Amino acid sequence: MRLSLRFILPLAAVLILIAYAVVPLVDKLIERWFIRDLDMRSMVIANSVREPLLERLASGSTVRIVSYFNRLTQDERLFAVGFCDEAKGELIATKTFPKELKCETFALHESRPIRMLPSPNGMLHVSIEPIESEGSRVGRLVFVHDMSFIQRRSAETRKFVFYFFVALGCIVSLITVVVAHMSRRGWVEGTRTLLRGEIIRRPGGRKSTTTPELQPIARDLRMLIRELETEYRPRDESQVTWTPEALRSILKTELRGEEILVVSNREPYLHVRRNGRIEVQRPASGLVTAMEPIMRACSGTWIAHGAGSADRETVDGRDRVAVPPEHPSYHIRRLWLSREEEQGYYYGFANEGLWPLCHIAHVRPTFRASDWEQYETVNRKFANAVVEEAGTDSPIVLVQDYHLALLPRMIRDLLPNATIITFWHIPWPNPESFAICPWRTQLLDGLLGSSILGFHTQFHCNNFLDTVDRLMEARVDRETFTISHGGLSTAVHRYPISIDWPPAQEFTSKPVETCRNDIRQRLGLPADHALGFGVDRLDYTKGILERFMAVERLLELRPEWRGRFSFIQVAAPSRSSIGQYQEFEAQVREMARRINERFGTDGYLPIILKIEHHEHETVYEYYRAVDLCFVSSLHDGMNLVAKEFLAARDDGQGVLILSQFTGASRELPEALIVNPYDIDQCAAALHVALTMPAAEQRDRIRVMRGLISEFNVYRWAGRMLLDAAVMRRRGRILERSTLP
């Protein structure tokens, strides 16, 4: 007991000190949350009552207005409502409206409005919302909320915290006593023996032959240890954190140093001729952002369509070129497509058919038989290139995205021993939506040629299994997430994609303060001008129009941001030969022009639109210079812009507003999650982001950056390669077991 007290008494003292420190912090945190909720609630009520109030003001009936306000105060939290008429200087309010609040008071506190007001029954919260009619302010609507309910909840919280620490102290004390007792009785030694898988010995060195109560535990522990060794041994033996060296170690130890083949439509580097000289460009693509660091680590071969105007001039006799140009570490094998092939395969079937089909972004997919023929032909070209580049009959092939859905089955037919990992970078729709495609069965059969099929989220995995179960003759095992079809098994797994960590030094070497000043000087804006930022391909799924409407709504509801806040939208041109994309670009330009005409002044534009290609160094400079980043995708597989913004903010400042329809929103709940179709909600999120305290920004950024640093792109690739290594080992074991 004396030994136990040595642990229990200091522990109790520490817990008491922690409780005293935590309770005031919890009170402040709860109060801050509720005050923000009351501000948001007041804005919502003001938007709801604006039209009815203007009608009653037009009638000139003060009695009707007071009666209307009395009905509003039936809400138990709404203590009083008042309206200060801008023209008359008259206050119209309920009887409960505090007498010390007058129209003159609000005018005196225009820059710093009254927020809290004491009363005999507790504190009152005061919110002032401007009311406008036809662009001019007619008055101020004042809401007074009773905050007594916050005090009651704070008291309940303090009680809960107290009981929690008491219970925690009792539990820890009990565990301490039990462990001490077990130590005296020799249980610790017995547990260690079990973990080593040895036979338990009795005191005196005699083996125990009768331990029935411990034998099931020993058996389960030995089984668990074997599973852990099989599943995680490669990572534990290479490195604790995921780095390029960890990937190389996997290739060396688990995959015997075999070269990796990556196959995608888009190449990571384009050679283009401009002004008589050849330049190197990196396309704006989430796929390239994720895969390029992997290829640097693995030193493999990337097979892709050569789309640059000078690509043919830079390859060798085998259509290969070493990249990156400054420090070559892997090769690109380029394929050449005719104009008809590119039009039918890429612009036609892939981007007018599969892209809108999978994104469900209210654009009707278009399917043509001629496009399907070109899609098959080009997929066959890629399959032949894989065979030419493969050094063995069992390569590891990473097939990327919806452009190459038929490729896994074609590779399987040509190289039966290959390990094929296919990753689908865009969402997978529900079975009803996918059934629209006339060639749905052929696409599914092509994907089921994969050894492993990966998606960003579990939701997309579930949709794929449902689609196969509904549309094909295949055995779907939902316990192991495998599909058996045509004598082959395909594992369907979730692999959330990410970015390189830490970001390249050239992207973050410029100090944040310098970036802020340089960007504002470049745009001709004051040093304290607030900036928002969005960077996307010019695509209708990215929610750019909805983003602009949210900025417009913010300036309508919060006039104080006019002239003080601008939103920079960088949009890289994409698929401009498709009519839907041409129409979308025209809509984006028109909406930006309309908003700028409505709210802009000399030297000030609310929307700064840049439809042009930007290099990564420039994009990261914007990331580090702005106050918020807005990702408003209407449907997205993951969206790496959100993660790039967080990686760039090593200063711990900046706010991320993130669409709930991105895969990233499931990993980054500390962002401000919004429905991009709800324009009022997005406008409110912009205001919250622009007024968020620096300490709260730092807390949110720190948590999200910690997740990205651990779950980086090397972990994404490493998990797929580890699963492939396990699959290859099992295949060799089964092969040996069937030998005579």
Residues known to be catalytic: 425, 636
**What secondary structure letter does DSSP report for 350?**
I
CB-CB contact of 344 with 374 (8 Å): yes
Size of the chain in residues: 740
Would you put residue 568 in left (φ > 0), alpha (ψ -120 to 50) or beta? beta
- The whole-angstrom separation of Cα 335 and Cα 320 is 9
Return the HEC string of 159-225.
HHHHHHHHHHHHHHHHHHHHHHHHHHHCHHHHHHHHHHCCCCECCCCCECCCCCCCHHHHHHHHHHH
| Residue type (1 letter), 702 | R
* Closest listed residue to residue 319, CA positions, set 307, 344, 336: 336
Q: How many CB atoms lie within 10 A of CB 103?
A: 19
What is the number of alpha carbons within 13 Å of residue 209 lying toward its C-beta?
1
* Closest listed residue to residue 446, CA positions, set 388, 343, 372: 372
- The whole-angstrom separation of Cα 233 and Cα 228 is 7
Owner of token pair 């409505």: 598
Task: Show contacts of 364-373: CB within 8 Å, 24+ apart.
Answer: 365/436, 365/437, 367/437, 367/438, 367/439, 368/344, 370/344, 371/344, 371/345, 372/438, 372/439, 373/344
**C-alpha 672: how far from its chain's center?**
11
Q: What are phi and psi of 135, to 5 degrees?
A: 85, -5
Torsion of CA 710, 716, 719, 720, to 10 degrees: 180
Burial class of 440 by CB neighbour count within 10 A (0 to 12, 13 to 18, 19+): middle
**What secondary structure letter does DSSP report for 559?**
G
| Residue type (1 letter), 42 | S
Owner of token pair 């109060």: 31
* Angle (CA) 249 252 255, round 5°: 110
| Residue type (1 letter), 732 | R
- The whole-angstrom separation of Cα 39 and Cα 401 is 45
- The whole-angstrom separation of Cα 221 and Cα 227 is 10
Q: How many CB atoms lie within 10 A of CB 49?
A: 20
What is the enclosing helix (H) or strand (E) of 654? Answer: none
Written as one string, the DSSP assignment of 488-519 is EEEEEEE------SSPPHHHH-S-HHHHHHHH
Characterize the bridge pairing of strands 565-572 and 330-335.
unpaired
Token pair listed for 700: 């949110």
Sign of CA dihedral 446, 448, 449, 455: positive
Q: What are the residues whose beta carbons fall under 8 Å from the beta carbon of 303, sequence distance 6 or more?
A: 261, 262, 263, 264, 332, 333, 335, 382, 385, 386, 389
